[in-house]
Structure 1
Amino acid sequence: MNNDWIDVRHSPEYQIETIHAHFEGHAYDAHWHDSYLVGVTQQGTQQFHCRRNKITSTPGDIFLLEPGEIHDGDAPIEGGFTYQTFYLSPEWLDREIRHLFHDTPSSYELSFAKTLNSDPRLAQAIAQTFQLLHFGEFRIVQQSALDNLLAHLAPHIHWRAEASAAHLALGCAHLAREYMHAHLNEDLSLQELAAATGTDRFTLTRAFKQAFGIAPHAYLVQLRLAEARIRLSQGEKPVQVAAELGFADQSHLGRWFRRAYRLSPAQYRQICTNLPD
């Protein structure tokens, strides 16, 4: 018997998604998001890999992930695990933090010091803010709760120097990533990617895994899925999204989308837009 469930809400005003979910056994395959994840484990034991470490989160633990950080999810103990999490857009989070704290540096980007944290006050702020956003409280109440959440999140934030364009141009791995972003809807081969970066496919694969912890083909799939989420949330139909992002058909998109997010593209589109498929 499968007791897994997931409840997703989308707030276009704040560029935030709230997710309340329960999984037993294998939860989801390795993937990444283009958002910051701020969440708390409510029940059970959640286990996942991130930053090349195996992380175990138990009730009250807070997990903080940056955009692009690869992670998976499993329930190693009978009964599974339940969690609440926010997906915060980088643009929104950076803007709000700079509004709250006037001494933030101008040429740096937000970074989380640790993936797993124990902070009861932050955990309480997550729970309170989640309820208000997920179930649609008055906007002024939501905004006050978000400010309180960010104030408690601030001690866990570091400022990391942004990589310069010259630095990003070094190394075939970074060049390959830039090439995939520019050609994400094309049926790229490893040979083509290697040729575009001036190396061979074996060297490229090794360098890419070392730099980003994931193979080039897996990164391209995740890149397409991230773009699919954006387009579906704007009301585009799954069949159109699949065709424009290089998937063979809607079913092909659906298989990858479910593996990463445990929702079908149509379900995600309906959650974000209230439009029928």
Structure 2
Amino acid sequence: MNAHEQNPGVRPDTTDSAGDWIRRSGRPSGIERIEAFFHGHGYEMHRHDTYAIGVTLGGVQSFSYRREKRHSLPGQIIVLHPDEEHDGEAGTSAGFMYRMVYVAPALLQEALGEKPLPFVPGGISDDARLRAAVHAMLLDEEAHSDALAQDDALFDLAAALDAAAGSPAQRHCGDFRAAQKAREYIHDALDRPVTLDELALASGRDRWSLSRDFRSFFGTSPHRYLTMRRLDLVRGLMLRGHSLADCAVGAGFADQSHMTRQFMKAYGVSPARWLKIVDAGGHAGR
């Protein structure tokens, strides 16, 4: 992505004469996202009362953290613990670009189920699970715009942080009946937005316990399950001759492009190409 492109859901905040800039999103429910680019020295020593978790997108992001100098390369994950001082500057003359999400510790602690807050040593991580969780939180447009997707991303981020911090895995004894009630609720709500709070109310379980239960018994998150069932509905409607636009609306997607993005993620081909391939194979697989 070009460093100066405007991103969906992110508004220009500050730009100075040197060409440095910050773009930030709002702060719903203790979560704030920024994207920034700096030449030279970015900011002085400071600290947040939140986690600061991000990914370097370009250049070398250098910073002092816990009395050592750190250097984050493109693709590496930065994890700054609450109340830890740090600064920031470019490691080369090319400058650096990054995205960061600031998450209130209480949100992560709730998602972890009253476990101690995870501490990832060193400030930089190459943990694959953490990288995937951070990318979902920062780079997936749906995690910015859909409440259930954001809650899924937050839960996955908390779990990935906990694992990257070296916390031992714990056996989860879930409530199957609650997870089943949430699953049934999803099946009855494919054509409209669904929130984790709705699922919690329908199941009689608190939201984060339900998230763990659902993953334990059905192998995926509530949002991912909802998306796949919507795509099942889309495929059925397509095979019955409905237009792609009507399929998107009928299956609860925001629009045709939203549906197409999710279809590509799930099946690796566009809806139109999938239908063409199925039609070429005849009706046996229908």
TM-score by length of 1: 0.50
Bigger relative CO (Cα 8 Å, ≥ 6 apart)? 1
TM-score by length of 2: 0.48
